[in-house]
Amino acid sequence: MPFDTSERSAPVRTLNAPPGELPVAARIIDEMLEILGPNGENWIQQEERLGQKFCIIGALKHAEHLLRVDTCNRTHTLISEAIGRCHNTDDCIATFNDRPDRQFSDIREALLIAKCEALIRTRRGFAGVRRYA
């Protein structure tokens, strides 16, 4: 897979960009990756949250809470589009997360693709993607 990062121990961060330069969606996705853990040790299926373990939707909500932002629709849309693009499916996020054959590497790949798209859209000045303040 293009984003197989099993050897990485931390989420991918944009080099030389202070936090104020990242679009909100990219910062939220970084936070989601931290919440879920470098190797998915805090990722779960079939539940939104169970203690300190989260599915994608649970991680999204928790990241927004921690960052004190509310962009669920924008970030949710970016993640949905990334899932469709990289896995050729029209599954909703919850269904994608909960498939029995799903692995954390699939989740991480979709999140990283969504982050890349947020960065691209911000750079190109697409409406609907604000910078993190």
* Prediction pTM value: 0.78
Q: Distance (Å, rounded) from C-alpha 73 to C-alpha 91?
A: 16
Choice between 53 and 21, residue whose per-residue pLDDT is larger: 53
Percent over 90 (pLDDT), the chain? 64
Note whether 4 and 107 are within 8 A (CB). Answer: no
Q: Which two tokens stand for residue 33?
A: 């990756």
Would you say residue 57 has pLDDT above 50? yes
The pLDDT, as a whole number, for residue 70 is 75
pLDDT (tens digit, 9 = 90+) per residue, 19-35? 456 889 999 999 999 99
Written as six digits, the tokens of 104 are 């954390």
17 pLDDT above the threshold of 80: no
Query: Domain boundaries in the chain?
Result: 21-124
